[in-house]
Amino acid sequence: MTNLKILFTVVATLAVFTFVANVIPQVQSAVPREIVLSADMPPEELAAIGEEIYAGAGGCTACHGLGTRAPDLLGVVGGVCATRVPGQSCKDYLWESLINPTAYIVEGFDPIMIDQSIVSSQAELWTLVAFLESQGGEITVNADDFAAALAADDAAAAAPPPVAVTDPSQLDGMAIIEAQQCLACHAIGGVGGQVAPPFEDLRGQDPAFIRESIVDPNATINPDYQAFAGTMSPALAQMMSPAELDALVEFLATGGVGSGAGAEAPGDAAEVPPDSAGGSR
Ligand code: HEC
Ligand code: HEC
């Protein structure tokens, strides 16, 4: 369990850096909205925008508010947030819950929530914190927090785009899986979540099916995992370049990228540990 937490923390930390570098420009299109965020917005206005993101493009209600998959937040989380981690303020706890959700795992739930900076910019995340604080507590998000987030978003948007690798065979499928946080829900080699099919089950399956399942996760629902249907975010696919998606599909279908992997008998695939499949970190 400890190893799992460390893995998740590493994944989340990597993810934050990766997103800051890569993803922010796409983020803006993932949450289309006319409202312009500005540093002088009063807290209630921030919370109102946060509520909109919570109920809409943020995708939170795929899990929260259903009673079973995730803790209820509405009306309660602003009251419990300051008590979760000794010494951590409500505001800091909620912020961390969004960008590093596995730092503290609410008892009785699976750690299936992924870093929400995939879907939302930093400024949008602060509106969510303001909204969550308002659910049973007081809003302490202030203009300084918000101005800093807006500046960070601007800096990320202005950063030169990373050099894109366009040849899928140059990409490491396992590294993509880790960066995209797939292991919050899926396991490979016995490591990862239990709420979605283990990736070994995909070996030998039609690559077109695998691709569709990633791009449009609700197109087909695996009946064995009905209880968690709808939790896989289509935003994950939007964050990937076409080459990354190709490499990921290839990796999942064959258990590895490159000539050697294709030669493996699919029937034996379940016994192959992930590190023998070419994953170098
Ligand atoms: C895939 C399902 C899923 C999605 C989507 C999701 N969450 Fe969560 N969230 C969880 C689960 C499960 C927990 C409890 C386990 C944990 O602490 O990680 C949790 C915990 C939290 C907590 C801590 C609650 C507490 O009582 O301490 C907050 C705050 C939170 N989520 C906010 C959000 C917000 C805001 C969004 C949308 C931007 C969101 N979550 C999207 C599953 C999800
Ligand atoms: C928040 C949890 C969650 C995350 C994160 C997640 N998935 Fe899923 N995924 C599911 C669940 C639940 C199912 C089964 C229900 C369904 O078919 O939609 C599923 C189904 C799939 C399937 C179809 C498998 C089948 O047997 O039908 C593929 C392929 C897949 N996921 C790939 C991925 C990849 C690749 C990633 C990372 C980019 C990922 N998933 C991230 C929850 C998740």
**Mutational test site, ligand 1, from 46, 54, 63, 74, max ligand atoms within 8 Å of CB:** 63
Q: Which residues line ligand 1 (CB under 6 A)?
A: 54, 58-60, 62-64, 69-71, 73, 77, 80, 84, 94, 97-98, 101-102, 104-106, 109-113, 116, 128, 132, 231
37, 127 contact by CB (below 8 A): yes
- Segment 250-273 shows an average pLDDT of 56
* Distant-in-sequence, close-in-space partners of 129: CB < 8 Å, separation ≥ 6: 50, 91, 94, 95, 98, 141
Name the residue type at position 224: D
Closest to 252 measured CA to CA, from 277, 220, 223: 277
Domain with CATH 1.10.760.10 in the chain: 168-277
Query: Model-level pTM?
Result: 0.82
pLDDT at 39: 82
pLDDT at 33: 52
Position 13 pLDDT exceeds 80: no
What is the separation of C-alpha 118 from the centre of its chain, rounded to a whole number of angstroms?
Answer: 6
Which ligand is nearest the CA of 136, by number? 1
What is the dotted CATH code of the domain comprising 168-277? 1.10.760.10
* Distant-in-sequence, close-in-space partners of 211: CB < 8 Å, separation ≥ 6: 245, 249
At 125-154, the pLDDT tens digits run 999 999 999 999 999 999 999 999 999 999
At 49-79, the pLDDT tens digits run 999 999 999 999 999 999 889 999 999 999 9
* Distant-in-sequence, close-in-space partners of 45: CB < 8 Å, separation ≥ 6: none
- Segment 42-54 shows an average pLDDT of 95
**CB 184 less than 6 A from any atom of ligand 2:** yes
Position 261 pLDDT exceeds 50: no
Q: Which stretch of 36-40, 124-128, 173-177, 199-203 has the lowest confidence by average pLDDT?
A: 36-40
- Segment 78-106 shows an average pLDDT of 97
Which ligand is nearest the CA of 196, by number? 2
- Segment 85-91 shows an average pLDDT of 97
Closest to 252 measured CA to CA, from 213, 217, 204, 193: 204
Cα gap 130→189, rounded to integer Å: 39
pLDDT at 10: 43
pLDDT at 15: 43
Position 176 pLDDT exceeds 70: yes
pLDDT at 268: 42
Q: What's the chain's length in residues? A: 281
pLDDT band for position 37 (50/70/90)? confident
Which ligand is nearest the CA of 113, by number? 1
Closest to 116 measured CA to CA, from 177, 166, 181: 181
**CB 245 less than 6 A from any atom of ligand 2:** no
Cα gap 211→252, rounded to integer Å: 10
Position 238 pLDDT exceeds 80: yes
Kindly calculate the radius of gyration of the chain based on its CA atoms and give it in whole angstroms: 19
User: In the numeric block, which tokens belong to residue 102?
Assistant: 């596995």
